Amino acid sequence: MSISKACVIGAGVMGSAIAAHIANAGIPVLLLDIVPPGEGDRSRIAKGAVERLLKTEPAPLMTRAAAKLIEPGNIEDDLHKLKDVGWIVEAVAERLDIKQGLYRKLEAARKRGCIVSSNTSTLPLHMLMEGMPTTLQQDFCITHFFNPPRYMRLLELVAGPLTRPEISTVITNFSDQKLGKVVVLAKDTPGFIANRIGVFWVQAAVKAAHDLGLTVEETDAVMGRPMGAPKSGIFGLIDIIGLDLLPHVDASLRQALPADDMYRTLPADFPLLPKMLADGYIGRKGKGGFYRLNTSDGNKIKESISLKTGEYAVSTPSRLDSVAAAKSGLRILVTHKDRGGKLAWAVLSKTLAYAATLVPQIADSIVDVDLAMKAGFNWKYGPFELIDKLGAAWFAERLAAEKLAVPPLLAVAAGAGGFYKLSGQGLAQLDTNGTHQTLARQSGTLLLSDIKTTSKPLAKNSSASVWDVGDGVACLEFHSKMNTLDPDSLTMLMQALEITKRSMQALVIYNEGENFSAGANIGLALFAANIGMWPTLEQFLEQGQSVMRALKYASFPVVGAPSGLALGGGCEVLLHCSAVQAHAETYMGLVETGVGIVPAWGGCKEMLIRHLPGPRDAKGPMPGIMAAFEQISMAKVSKSAAEAKDMKFLRVTDGITMNRDRLLADAKARVLALVAAGYKPPVPVELRLPGPTARAALGLAIENFSRQGLALPHDVTVSNQLATVLSGGMTDVMDVLEENRIFDLEKQAFMTLLHTVPTLDRMETMLATGKPTRN
């Protein structure tokens, strides 16, 4: 049984975004809603939803073309189209009567065995299926997506007592491989896993902030990064979710949870809530919540609400010692004497203990709970990993010392040396019987972090390492801050090439950082330029160029496997690989002009080559040059791997992996396939460029942009240097240029620009603020 076409019913925010993500996977999807009363197009709700998808930020769709895979319709006229649909996702209003009415309608329309799932977050499966035909119950499950579905990796899957086992398998495989989801099997209990613990965490923190007198900034500073949660923390998160949803979420949990559940000890709301809702402060989707942007005097000023007075004032960053001290460990944070430390203990002691009471009630294993919190709330560590950070025994003792209940599972962990343990086979998790069982990864999943726990690198320096990932494949891992590239990274890349040549078959370039690489380390470049170390700079540049050359023409295949940002030098590394296997969420671009320079490790050269006209493009020397110029001068970055293909940062033949955890395995398979096919390095490209003629054409364009106010003064300087590189310098269209000539031009332009003050200003601002300056 496979799913070659899907259907989502309910074209609200969640339903339409789920349909968008199914389309991202290349699967055609019907999107149906009701026929609204009144005249007009009977499918206008779903059609409007598709139009909205194209305008929503962050984009639910990976490319505009994916929208064409969504076929809008309505549930009165289009149910006959369900006959070739393998999976129907119901995402209509959270009302039992509406959902059950729809299910009855679907019984007649769906083909035999077609899976029906509900995206409900509040209604249990046993209620949804009450009185439903057995045939439906056998094909039914809950698939709970998190918002926004493209970006939030968690999918909670709940199967009922009659659900056919293969349904879980099909949904798990499809969601894992096609949708890139972390699929966690949850029990049919209120809030499933992530919301059960996440809402507890939020409510506990709101209460503690009031009890201990912390500001919203302080609360978020403590509950964000120090515990490995997103920096939005608690109040920032409520603003994102919407304050208006809070009472509903609370009420649905409260009425469904058992009488002795710890959640019931927390207050349902907080003093300010009614007034904030009455004043329309419902969060980011409205005019603000705990935080707001005050634009009344023309400036955007971030303000926050006082939990005591309810008045807004200019937001002031938290300056808690405990937050600074938390860098030395979670235990330092929760034992710190200031109010930040007290808040951390108050919230984590409750939340982590609560989690420990819930296995096996809500999930079969602790790792499922950790996975759910990591993928559903973007925590860096799950609750059981956090307990291990504190020390399970220490945590149990502290709870006991404070006369708080020690959950039995925690007591077991305290005695067994923690929830997780490293064994010879890798990581093992504590089961409910108190023994550690080795974690089995899904087949097709390969994590460098697993390999790293059980082996030593083949080579290593401060910025990068080389690992043996099996089957004769080496893996180069960047691990500097933001994975920026410095001379050490380049040295290790060169060494990886040498090691592979000597003793391996092939190389992949991959890491498990948030970003593949943010580009060359401009801090180093700025420092060298400021003290006039021009030879050092030139050396760094030339080192990069010769490494890229060696990479491109290596006798064995090299596959780059990016996820997240691959900018500037990081993008250039990928441009020189034999092939790329990219995670779907890969954002590629040559952004050098933003810091006042031009790509000089072959980025200009490779984009000239990539933009050579294909059979369907306009012929002649200019279109490719103009396309490369537009992309690089405007520092365009792809918003997905699929879009990177449209922009030619990726080749049409490059692969895209939807599931982050499968990226290394897919990259390895790709590089081994290249080996098996008898890999030969590429033949050098000979370029014919029009030189000064192209330079004049681009010069005219730059002048027009400048007059239109679309280019700042230094943009003009940088663009003119870029124009010289992309034109081929002092060449003629009758001459043939070798790739090295473009390397030379890149170097010239790069060094010239580094001698200008505005370029150094751009670098300085970027390093200080993370944003480009306008000069």
Partner 1 sequence: MNHAVIVGYARSPFHFAGKGALARIRADDLAAAVVKELLTRTKIEVNDLEDLLLGCAFPEGEQGINVARLIAFIAGLPLTSGAATVNRFCGSSMQAIHNAAGAIALGAGEVFICAGVESMSRVPMMGFNPMPNPALAQQMPGSYMSMGITAENVAKKYAISRLAQEEFAVASHHKSATAQQLGKFTNELVVLGDVAVDGCIRADSSLQALAGLKPAFDQNGVVTAGTSSPLTDGAAACLVVAESYAKKHQLPILARIKSIAISGCSPELMGIGPVEATRKALKRAGLTMADIDIIELNEAFAAQAIACIRDLDLDINKVNLDGGALALGHPLGATGARITGKAAALLVREGKQFALATQCIGGGQGIATILEAVA
Q: Which of 696, 675, 690, 487 is nearest to 608 (CA)?
A: 690
Residue range at the interface with partner 1 (CB under 8 A); choices 114-122, 392-400, 468-476, 695-703: 695-703
Give min distance, CB of 721 to partner 1, in A.
Answer: 17
Give min distance, CB of 607 to partner 1, in A.
Answer: 18
Residue range at the interface with partner 1 (CB under 8 A); choices 91-99, 244-252, 467-475, 615-623: 615-623
Q: Which is nearer to partner 1, 532 or 620 (CB)?
A: 620
Cis omega (within 30 of 0) for bond into 230 = no
Q: Which is nearer to partner 1, 134 or 708 (CB)?
A: 708
The helix/strand/coil state of 517 is strand
Give min distance, CB of 774 to partner 1, in A.
Answer: 14
Give how far Cα 559 sits from Cα of 204, 474, 631, 698, Å. 47, 10, 24, 34
Give min distance, CB of 618 to partner 1, in A.
Answer: 4
Give how far Cα 84 sits from Cα of 6, 50, 80, 109, 234, Å. 9, 22, 9, 10, 44
C-alpha span between 264 and 652 (Å, rounded): 55
Give min distance, CB of 353 to partner 1, in A.
Answer: 60
- Does position 620 interact with partner 1 (CB under 8 A)? The reply is yes
- Does position 426 interact with partner 1 (CB under 8 A)? The reply is no
Q: Which is nearer to partner 1, 121 or 724 (CB)?
A: 724
Q: Which is nearer to partner 1, 502 or 707 (CB)?
A: 707
Give min distance, CB of 692 to partner 1, in A.
Answer: 4
Q: Which is nearer to partner 1, 259 or 618 (CB)?
A: 618
Binds partner 1 by CB under 8 A, chosen from 113, 699, 758, 772: 699
Binds partner 1 by CB under 8 A, chosen from 13, 30, 697, 725: 697
- Does position 391 interact with partner 1 (CB under 8 A)? The reply is no
Residue 30 host element (H or E): strand 29-33
- Does position 708 interact with partner 1 (CB under 8 A)? The reply is yes
Q: Which is nearer to partner 1, 470 or 620 (CB)?
A: 620
Give min distance, CB of 289 to partner 1, in A.
Answer: 33
- Does position 473 interact with partner 1 (CB under 8 A)? The reply is no
Q: Tokens at residue 409, please?
A: 């599972």
Site size toward partner 1 (CB under 8 A) is 19
Question: Binding pattern to partner 1, positions 621-650, x when CB under 8 A?
Answer: xxx---------------------------
Site for partner 1 in 123-142 (CB under 8 A): none
Sheet holding 115-118, edge to edge: 70-74, 29-33, 6-9, 87-90, 115-118, 140-145, 154-159, 182-185
C-alpha span between 637 and 658 (Å, rounded): 19
Give min distance, CB of 720 to partner 1, in A.
Answer: 13
Q: Which of 31, 12, 17, 256 is nearest to 125 (CA)?
A: 256
Sorted by sequence, the CB contacts under 8 Å of residue 491 that are 6+ apart come out as 461, 543
- Does position 611 interact with partner 1 (CB under 8 A)? The reply is no
Rg of the Cα atoms in the chain: 28
Give min distance, CB of 623 to partner 1, in A.
Answer: 6
Give min distance, CB of 713 to partner 1, in A.
Answer: 13
- Does position 2 interact with partner 1 (CB under 8 A)? The reply is no
- Does position 18 interact with partner 1 (CB under 8 A)? The reply is no
User: Are 287 and 281 a contacting pair, CB within 8 Å?
Assistant: yes
Give min distance, CB of 517 to partner 1, in A.
Answer: 35
Largest CA distance in the chain: 86
Q: Tokens at residue 499, please?
A: 């090691």
Exposed, middle or buried, 363 (CB in 10 Å: 0-12/13-18/19+)? buried
User: Are 602 and 575 a contacting pair, CB within 8 Å?
Assistant: yes
Give min distance, CB of 701 to partner 1, in A.
Answer: 8
Residues linked to residue 304 through DSSP beta bridges, in sequence order: 291, 313
Q: Which is nearer to partner 1, 64 or 111 (CB)?
A: 64
The helix/strand/coil state of 267 is coil
H helix count then E strand count, the chain: 31, 25
- Does position 251 interact with partner 1 (CB under 8 A)? The reply is no
User: Are 106 and 133 a contacting pair, CB within 8 Å?
Assistant: no
Residue range at the interface with partner 1 (CB under 8 A); choices 271-279, 341-349, 519-527, 613-621: 613-621
User: Are 3 and 170 a contacting pair, CB within 8 Å?
Assistant: yes
Residue range at the interface with partner 1 (CB under 8 A); choices 44-52, 453-461, 601-609, 618-626: 618-626
Question: Binding pattern to partner 1, positions 654-693, x when CB under 8 A?
Answer: ------------------------------------x-xx
Residue range at the interface with partner 1 (CB under 8 A); choices 299-307, 455-463, 617-625, 747-755: 617-625
What is the distance, to the nearest Å, from the Cα of residue 338 to the centroid of all Cα atoms in its chain? Answer: 34
- Does position 93 interact with partner 1 (CB under 8 A)? The reply is no
User: Are 451 and 445 a contacting pair, CB within 8 Å?
Assistant: no
Phi first, then psi: give them for residue 620, nearest 5 degrees: 105, 165
Residue range at the interface with partner 1 (CB under 8 A); choices 11-19, 224-232, 629-637, 703-711: 703-711
- Does position 713 interact with partner 1 (CB under 8 A)? The reply is no
What is the distance, to the nearest Å, from the Cα of residue 102 to the centroid of all Cα atoms in its chain? Answer: 34
Q: Which is nearer to partner 1, 307 or 687 (CB)?
A: 687
- Does position 729 interact with partner 1 (CB under 8 A)? The reply is no
Q: Which is nearer to partner 1, 410 or 697 (CB)?
A: 697
303: phi > 0 → left, psi -120 to 50 → alpha, else beta; which?
A: beta
Q: Which is nearer to partner 1, 86 or 690 (CB)?
A: 690
User: Are 568 and 520 a contacting pair, CB within 8 Å?
Assistant: yes
Q: Tokens at residue 661, please?
A: 């955890």
Exposed, middle or buried, 286 (CB in 10 Å: 0-12/13-18/19+)? middle
Give min distance, CB of 565 to partner 1, in A.
Answer: 32
User: In angstroms, how far is the first alpha carbon of the chain from the final one?
Assistant: 59
- Contacts with partner 1 by CB under 8 A lie at 618-623, 690, 692-697, 699-700, 704, 707-709
